[in-house]
Structure 1
Amino acid sequence: MASSHGPSVKDDDTYEALRKQGASKEKAARIANARAAGDKPSARGGKSAPYEEWNRDDLYDRAREIGIKGRSEMNKSELIRALRSH
């Protein structure tokens, strides 16, 4: 039985399974909450251009915001990969 992870996690079983598979707390919570909501996209999603259309400086800034390590050594395609796998 999964324990409660607080009100920010809507599907404790999915969260716990993802954590056991090695997902970060943030990623596990994001997926668990999406599943609890029926995998419906949020109303505000999809307004940003795909990462391929961003310039490297903007990608770098986004990577810095979310704390991706090693970002200063990454080129544009590596930053895109790191952002998508975060």
Structure 2
Amino acid sequence: MPDPRIKNEDQYEALRDKGYSKQKAARIANTPNAGEKGGKAQPYEEWTKNELYQQAKKVGIEGRSKMNKEQLIKSLRSN
């Protein structure tokens, strides 16, 4: 039975099949527009620090309030 907390169950299962942890797969599958393609998003370097902070908050990165812009970018890319 599908987990009601997972917004995109197909994406979650595909990520789990690739070896992602349950937590990371759930974070990605629950991020709005995470599965969309098209390359319309700006690179993180063009985001403001506040935009990066808000994205880090959405995906549950701990310690984000003490990070500078470069650290937020690195953390977002590694999650």
TM-score range, shorter chain: 0.5 to 0.7
Who is 2:54 aligned against?
61
Q: CA deviation at 1:46?
A: 1.0
Q: Identity across aligned pairs (percent)?
A: 46
Who is 2:32 aligned against?
none
Letter in 2 for 1:79: L
Structure having the higher Rg: 1
Who is 1:50 aligned against?
43
Alignment: residue pair count = 64
Who is 2:21 aligned against?
24
Q: CA deviation at 1:25?
A: 2.0
Q: Distance in 2 between matches of 1:58 and 1:11?
A: 25
Who is 2:63 aligned against?
70
- Unaligned ranges ≥5, structure 2: 4-8, 29-34
Q: Distance in 2 between matches of 1:11 and 1:66?
A: 15
Q: CA deviation at 1:27?
A: 4.2
Give the TM-score normalised by the residue count of structure 2. 0.61
- Unaligned ranges ≥5, structure 1: 1-5, 31-41
Give the TM-score normalised by the residue count of structure 1. 0.57
Higher normalized contact order (CA 8 Å, seq sep 6+, divided by chain length)? 2
